[in-house]
Amino acid sequence: MLLETHRAEIETILSRYDSRRSAVLPLLYLAQDIYGHLTEAAIREVAAILDLPPTDVFEVVGFYTLFYNRPVGTWVLQVCDDVPCCYLGAEELIAALKQSLGIAEEQTTGDGMFTLQRVKCLAACDRAPVLQANLDYVYDVTPERVNALLANLRARAAEARQRGVSGRFAEDFEWGPDGALVPIDRAAPYRPRHFPAAPSPAPPEPEPVPEADAGHDRPADRKASPL
């Protein structure tokens, strides 16, 4: 029971707000970390702590994408597939993850280690392709780095350094010069990425859109095109 095991943390959260209901998101994060995902009992427990009708809390769980009401893996991998990531290698990254893990999007590996999801913009477009592993950012995840990433995450899980799927203890990562994942250096001056003379990646469509025969029925002038 959360109130018995985490009373101090819950009291701190409640003290921040002039209305108890405002604590619903932080308490759901806490419950999700303790129980692994938000079971019906967990949601009712949060409702009871906040003195809310359970329906109100079920509604909140259903609305926000970071609450999981069914079991997820030890690591939830969330890959941004929005513009511009999708044109900068996100589709290739998702394909590589699917192949390495042997699962499709929204599935969990048989050993319960990884859940794979596509998500919307992660606000790190300059570091595309980008993903979050339990809300830890990992920048510049090219397909070649997938195996190193998965090995790192498996090792952290084995050493019990995975601390819940809700990001209450999150840390962000980039790739060090030796190819290992290192925590980002927040003290370093911000440096934009630089792609020296790199070609633009190919468009991601798996099957290219059929082109009209060149020179035949492609309208030469868009204003004169028959609509």
Q: How far is the CB of 141 from another protein (least distance, A)?
A: 15
Our finding on whether 128 is near another protein (CB under 8 A) is yes
What is the distance, to the nearest Å, from the Cα of residue 215 to the centroid of all Cα atoms in its chain? 45
Nearer to another protein, 103 or 184 (CB): 184
* Contact characters 177-206, another protein, x per CB under 8 A: -------x-xx-xxxxxxxxxxxxxxx-x-
Contact 203, 87 (CB under 8 A): yes
Our finding on whether 8 is near another protein (CB under 8 A) is no
Nearer to another protein, 154 or 163 (CB): 163
Our finding on whether 218 is near another protein (CB under 8 A) is yes
Of the candidates 85, 121, 81, the one whose C-alpha atom is nearest the C-alpha of residue 98 is 81
The 3-state secondary structure of 117-185 reads EEECCCCCHHHCCCEEECCEEECCCCHHHHHHHHHHHHHHHHCCCCCCCCCCCCCCEEECCCCCEEECC
Q: Which of residues 76-115 bind another protein (CB under 8 A)?
A: 82-84, 86-88
Size, binding site for another protein by CB under 8 A = 79
Q: Which of residues 42-81 bind another protein (CB under 8 A)?
A: 50, 52, 56, 59-60, 63-67
